[in-house]
Amino acid sequence: MIAGRMRQFLLAVLLLSTAVAKDKPAKVYPERGTVVAMRTERATRGGGVYTDNQGRTHGGGVHSVKIPVYKVRNADMDFELEGRTRLSIGDQVSFRIEKNRVYVQDGSKERKFSLVGQEQRSAP
């Protein structure tokens, strides 16, 4: 009897949670711009150093990685985006900004970039 009620309760919770999940608002990409420049920055990444229980030291390796940085220009701002996703100069992009992240619409998917710079453009 208790197991039956518990099963009904869990089924109700499951149905309610799937109904709520389907009601997510659609993502909106209000900003539009054009990729006008691209550069590659070199970043150095290092691993931590630790000592194992026999007293030997491990880690401490350092390596260098290349990170693409894209400049996206709209009517009044230039945005610098850093990320692994490839963009081409001249691409028209729709995007949204949340804190220091930029989400670029790519068909039905979105690509995540870091916002590393922005600049107000002066009037011509």
Which pairs count as long-range contacts for 42-47, CB under 8 Å and 24+ apart, including other chains? 42/66, 42/67, 43/67
What is the predicted pLDDT for the residue at 26? 73
Residue 12 has pLDDT above 80, yes or no: no
Which segment of 57-61, 71-75, 90-94 scores lowest on mean pLDDT?
57-61
What is the predicted pLDDT for the residue at 91? 94
Q: Is the CB of residue 81 less than 8 Å from the CB of residue 68? A: no
Domain ranges in the chain are: 25-120
Query: What are the pLDDT digits (tens) for 20-68?
Result: 545 566 788 889 999 999 999 998 888 888 899 999 998 888 889 899 9
16: Cβ contacts below 8 Å, ≥ 6 apart: none
Cα–Cα dist 64/42, whole Å? 7
What is the predicted pLDDT for the residue at 80? 96
Q: Which residue has the tokens 């150095």?
A: 44
Which segment of 9-18, 38-47, 97-106 scores lowest on mean pLDDT?
9-18
Half-sphere exposure of 103 (CA within 13 A, CB side): 12
Measured CA distances, 49 to 38, 46, 53, 58 (Å): 35, 9, 14, 6
Q: Is 38 exposed, middle or buried (0-12, 13-18, 19+ CB in 10 A)?
A: middle
Residue 110 has pLDDT above 60, yes or no: yes
Residue 110 phi, psi dihedral angles, 5° rounding: -135, 145
Between 13 and 49, name the one with better pLDDT. Answer: 49
What is the predicted pLDDT for the residue at 79? 96
Model confidence band, residue 6 (pLDDT cutoffs 50, 70, 90): low
What is the predicted pLDDT for the residue at 84? 87
